[in-house]
Structure 1
């Protein structure tokens, strides 16, 4: 499938691309698509292969079959763009060597190599600091990456990618951890980008700003002109038509089966009548035999005809069902816990939680929200069993399987209990044997929640730090529904006020304000 374009050549071309993981999981099989210059969103369920597709385009993965070609250079920003914490901002931007050469020249160096390194970048620091300032980032090029917030690290990675002047920019969940001001700056940067942008995001505002929507579903890539709202209208209309086709096909199958039964009853009645006539010698024997033979031939043809009709109707039903999307939504199962309204949950001078309260921590990037949670966890101020799902979900051994990791974390559980629990989070059968390293961001969240919520005793406080990062929209909606049903206390960090409203947050505490601000969730 291709997008029509007046461009002389497409920005991205995939020709008969096949790719699978070492465990045998097939992601793409014969995928072909051409994508001209425009701004696209790339949507699809968690695990559909969105990040894998970006990595193939970026050249970080090699297809088993087929080819991937890109016109010009590619800039790629991953879901978790954090560099080594000891690296400086200049290191991340790839300008340390030029800066060092400039310093040597300023001190009197006349070495040709220094002038070669600098090239035309005499004003590099001025240009870069201007870009950093425009995005609200620190302009101290010697600052360590480890001191940046998650949102600042994401913006820095985007600056680094665009500084190389790529023709194609690939962004994997770029709005994660960004506050409102940073998101606005990011939107402006994308609007100004002169080439092709492909962005994976669950941010509805971002998805409404694109020229077209790419959808990955069952290993196929489809192109929808227009933003996410247009794509959903198209998909919803398709599903309505598919459900109607299934209903019609089901009705037709019932009708054909009923006809086959009625025909069989009629044939059996005729057979009994003929047998009675022959037994009572109502007709000559030779005539009876001729009638019986003719009846058997006729009955066989009729049975075969009805059997063919039923088989055809069943095939039409199977074909209609193929168009029903039954895997769009993840499942997140929450345990039921009892928590008195007077029970102390968090005992702290500035952040006290009692009973099944729902509290949100908000604030600008770098204000210290994640640090505040770490302090509460480390200082023993949480006085009930709790589960904490951090912003960056990592695993001690990424090569381990999902089931193996849960088993190590909870050695008291039997393999059967582990698999039954994982099935409630849609990790059924062989999916529970997938290596952790192969999981998407949304799948990582489901694994982290599955591990946290199976604990004994069950947690009475759930702490989530930017839980919607890396989730597709359908999984975000499932998470919101699960949290609405949660009967324990909730402490959540999020920049998404729509998400906070949806999970019925009662209090909002602003971190970084002076003094600490607090307001009702209403």
Structure 2
């Protein structure tokens, strides 16, 4: 029987008993399936339920075949080695003893002489040419992620479960993951916001507050079908709202007509124009007719309300991340940044940046590229004054803001209003509230603490504090801003940058994001 994963009536609740996943029914075969949805919607939880690390509140996970889930933290102890990640250190120690002539007959019977070669093969498949005794502490974050992926495929499971596998990976690491996805013959279930990865999928499962929906094909196919569905749902909702309004209008008109008739009847009765017996008969007929009319109107209004409710259920209620950014007033010929023969880094004996010159003029979009360890973030720290260069000169001629993947410019303990005023000291409370409102944080939302925000909200708040001043800073520096954003957050960032008329200096390995940025040029530190 082919390997498969089947979810039946699967539900799970958060520790405070809030429903996160409700009555999911899904089947995964030996194909590549992408799981998408907003941050906090339950993507990682779904993978943990499938892997058995969590148990459902109700429903079942049925599985034929084996499954392995990538560890998010590859390093646990300072002296851990790649062999520990693979769980084979005792087996490798046995081989060492055998080679030294210290193993007995029973040990030799258990020796697997192919093990080192198979480990190195898995590491090479993930683009990591190192040996099993390599200390994990000596690897970069991206290299540890690749080592964790290699340990996963080493077990040759029927299903791979990957949670944001390209976070923290440089271009070469991303290529290795994409090649693995393309060559893997088993099943894959990947939670990701990486559109380049999602284009490799055979199917997309979207998680929303309404449940789960499966779409065949890659992300592009999903987007096209989703847009068509949303357009149809929007038309249905508009029609239902119109019908509901019309039913309410007719009910109001009927009520007003009845009130006029009742008033006229009271006046006629008071004047005594007709015999009482005739007045009473007319009143009875009117009440019977009116009662039937009221019941018909009530039925129509109830049907209109049900239709409206059903139409609304088709459209998940989202607060769109719309952001209004004032003009920076940056002139085309204005020199924004100049680096003259700059050398520097964290280690004075081995400066990662050497003799670099760069000039940014006017509203240019400049991308800093290169593999992990090539000095991209170090360069930004030199530019922003966090690291003093050993030689050369840095001239920043305009105010700037920095937005990184963790939105570290926000103090988690402060409210958004206080964060804004901390970063914009000249702003009074009224100016702070007005600026935050332009980014969707109105009234009491401006008093929420930064620690309470979701990933998408945190990005929006960071942009509000960075760009909400009037005028906003003419230079925006971005350091892997999309790493922890969901697709809605990325779309919001891209829309904000499209409206921003200042200069942008960006580091990112997200190909789709860089394409949307439309860079004027790229500085490759790995060249």
TM-score bracket for this pair, using the shorter chain length: 0.7 to 0.9
Task: Kindly tell me the number of residue pairs found equivalent between the two proteins.
Answer: 500
2:238 equivalent to 1:224: no
Residue matched to 2:179: 188
Q: How does 1:310-325 map to 2 (within 5 A)?
A: 310-325=301-316
Residue matched to 2:84: 91
Residue matched to 2:348: none
Asked if 1 retains the 8 angstrom alpha-carbon contact of 2:6 and 2:61, the reply is: yes
2:166 equivalent to 1:158: no
2:360 equivalent to 1:368: no
Q: How does 1:281-292 map to 2 (within 5 A)?
A: 281-292=272-283
Shift of the alpha carbon at 1:459? 5.0
Residue matched to 1:43: 36
Residue matched to 2:347: none
Shift of the alpha carbon at 1:252? 1.6
TM-score by length of 1: 0.80
Asked if 1 retains the 8 angstrom alpha-carbon contact of 2:436 and 2:446, the reply is: no
Q: Call closer, same or farther: CA 1:336–1:132 in 2, change over 3 Å.
A: same
Question: Per-residue displacement from partner, 1:201-241 (whole Å, max 9, x unpaired)?
Answer: 23334323222221211162222222223323332232222
Q: Call closer, same or farther: CA 1:497–1:12 in 2, change over 3 Å.
A: closer
Structure with larger RCO (C-alpha < 8 A, sep 6+): 1
Q: Call closer, same or farther: CA 1:285–1:131 in 2, change over 3 Å.
A: closer
Secondary structure of the corresponding residue to residue 201 of structure 2: coil
Q: Call closer, same or farther: CA 1:405–1:266 in 2, change over 3 Å.
A: closer
Residue matched to 1:102: 95
Shift of the alpha carbon at 1:419? 12
Shift of the alpha carbon at 1:102? 1.7
Q: Call closer, same or farther: CA 1:439–1:265 in 2, change over 3 Å.
A: closer
Residue matched to 2:242: 251
Q: Call closer, same or farther: CA 1:11–1:450 in 2, change over 3 Å.
A: farther
Residue matched to 1:212: 203
Secondary structure of the corresponding residue to residue 351 of structure 1: strand
Asked if 2 retains the 8 angstrom alpha-carbon contact of 1:47 and 1:443, the reply is: no
Match of 2:387 among 367, 375, 379: 379
Gaps of at least 5 residues in structure 2 are: 342-356, 389-393
Shift of the alpha carbon at 1:359? 1.2
Residue matched to 2:50: 57
Asked if 2 retains the 8 angstrom alpha-carbon contact of 1:50 and 1:216, the reply is: yes
Residue matched to 2:491: 477
Asked if 2 retains the 8 angstrom alpha-carbon contact of 1:256 and 1:310, the reply is: yes
Secondary structure of the corresponding residue to residue 242 of structure 2: helix
| Root mean square deviation, CA, Å | 4.1
Shift of the alpha carbon at 1:86? 5.6
Question: In 2, distance between residues paired with 1:406 and 1:78?
Answer: 38
Q: Call closer, same or farther: CA 1:426–1:115 in 2, change over 3 Å.
A: farther
2:365 equivalent to 1:358: yes
Question: In 1, distance between residues paired with 2:329 and 2:141?
Answer: 34
Q: Call closer, same or farther: CA 1:406–1:472 in 2, change over 3 Å.
A: same
> Mean alpha-carbon deviation: is it higher for 193-202 or for 464-473?
464-473
Question: In 1, distance between residues paired with 2:404 and 2:108?
Answer: 46
Question: In 1, distance between residues paired with 2:256 and 2:74?
Answer: 71
Shift of the alpha carbon at 1:269? 4.4
